[in-house]
């Protein structure tokens, strides 16, 4: 969801999103474990009401928050799924996690691993923007988290900023769709989207990209991917 540009965690960020081979953040950010009933501090000023998220409706925030997925749990669920990795296509498990393609380069595998960590965490407008580490993420906060994990970003970005990020057109492994009100991506053929979270409880899905309203989205990809 588009919102005012967040402050970059740990250090001052450039005026526009950049790809960097040496991000200022640690290489693999982790989602913090939420505490049931706790309210995460919003990065938005109380004097500035949040804009309503455009064309995305995600379940309510009442009750305890879902727990972030640990690496051990991911490995256990992938092994239990009985699915094997494909050479070029990511695989969706019954638990809503993604198995990276065997031939995928390391940044793509890291993006998928980071996506699995937050796949079941709830949606919150502005989540993941004050800091990469949060207990709920909006659409652009979700993409910021996984791209930072892979060293493709060194600051959080909004959906509007992703419209000019990276290179134009679809990528071989990663394709980002970005508009002023929403953003999502495909990684190895699987969709990573907060809309899927609202529908199935996981950001990963097999949903196709042939919706008629996609004409308003910019199509971008990380350089080389």
List the domain range (segments joined by +) for residue 139: 71-221
Residue 32 lies in a domain: no
For residue 171, the domain's CATH number is 3.90.1720.10
Tokens of residue 46, six digits: 């109380």
Q: Above 50 in pLDDT, residue 77?
A: yes
Q: Cβ distance 217 to 178 under 8 Å?
A: yes
By residue count, the chain amounts to 225
Those residues whose C-beta lies under 8 Å from the C-beta of residue 130, and which sit 6 or more positions away, are 6, 7, 9, 41, 42, 43
46 in a structural domain: no
User: For residue 22, how many other CB atoms are within 10 A of its CB?
Assistant: 6
* Region of poorest pLDDT, from 65-74, 104-113, 128-137, 204-213: 65-74
End-to-end CA distance of the chain: 24
Q: pLDDT (tens digit, 9 = 90+) per residue, 142-184?
A: 999 999 999 999 999 999 999 999 999 999 999 999 999 999 9
Q: Is residue 198, in this structure, part of any structural domain at all?
A: yes
Instruction: For the chain, give the mean pLDDT.
Output: 75
**Domains: count for the chain:** 1
Residue 192 falls inside a structural domain? yes
Do the domain assignments include residue 155? yes
| Cα–Cα distance, 181 to 184 (Å, whole number) | 11
Q: What is the pTM of this model?
A: 0.67
Give the contacts of 199 (CB within 8 A, at least 6 positions apart): 205
With a cut of 50, say whether residue 46 has pLDDT above it: no
pLDDT for 85 equals: 61
Q: For residue 53, is pLDDT > 70?
A: no
Structural contact between residues 163 and 218, judged by C-beta atoms closer than 8 angstroms = yes
Secondary structure of residue 161 in the 3-state scheme: helix
pLDDT value, residue 3: 44
User: Considering the domain boundaries, does residue 43 fall inside one?
Assistant: no
Domain membership of residue 20 (yes or no) is no
Would residue 126 count as lying in a domain? yes
pLDDT tens-place string over residues 98-150: 999 988 999 999 999 999 999 999 999 999 998 778 999 999 999 999 999 99
């Amino acid at each position: 969801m588009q919102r005012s540009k967040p402050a970059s965690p740990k250090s001052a960020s450039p005026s526009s999103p950049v790809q960097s081979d040496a991000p200022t953040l640690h290489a693999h950010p982790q989602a913090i474990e939420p505490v049931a009933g706790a309210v995460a501090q919003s990065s938005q000023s109380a004097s500035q009401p949040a804009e309503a998220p455009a064309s995305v409706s995600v379940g309510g925030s009442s009750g305890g928050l879902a727990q972030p997925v640990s690496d051990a749990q991911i490995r256990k669920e992938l092994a239990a799924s009985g699915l094997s990795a494909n050479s070029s296509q990511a695989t969706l498990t019954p638990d809503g996690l993604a198995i990276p393609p065997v031939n995928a380069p390391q940044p793509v595998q890291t993006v998928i691993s980071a996506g699995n960590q937050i796949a079941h965490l709830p949606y919150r407008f502005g989540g993941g923007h004050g800091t990469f580490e949060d207990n709920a993420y909006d659409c652009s906060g979700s993409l910021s988290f996984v791209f930072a994990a892979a060293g493709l970003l060194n600051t959080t970005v909004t959906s509007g900023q992703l419209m000019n990020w990276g290179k134009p057109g679809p990528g071989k492994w990663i394709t980002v769709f970005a508009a002023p009100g929403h953003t999502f991506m495909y990684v190895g053929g699987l969709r990573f989207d907060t809309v899927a979270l609202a529908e199935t409880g996981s950001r990963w899905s097999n949903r196709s990209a042939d919706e008629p309203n996609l004409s308003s989205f910019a199509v971008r990809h990380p350089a080389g991917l």
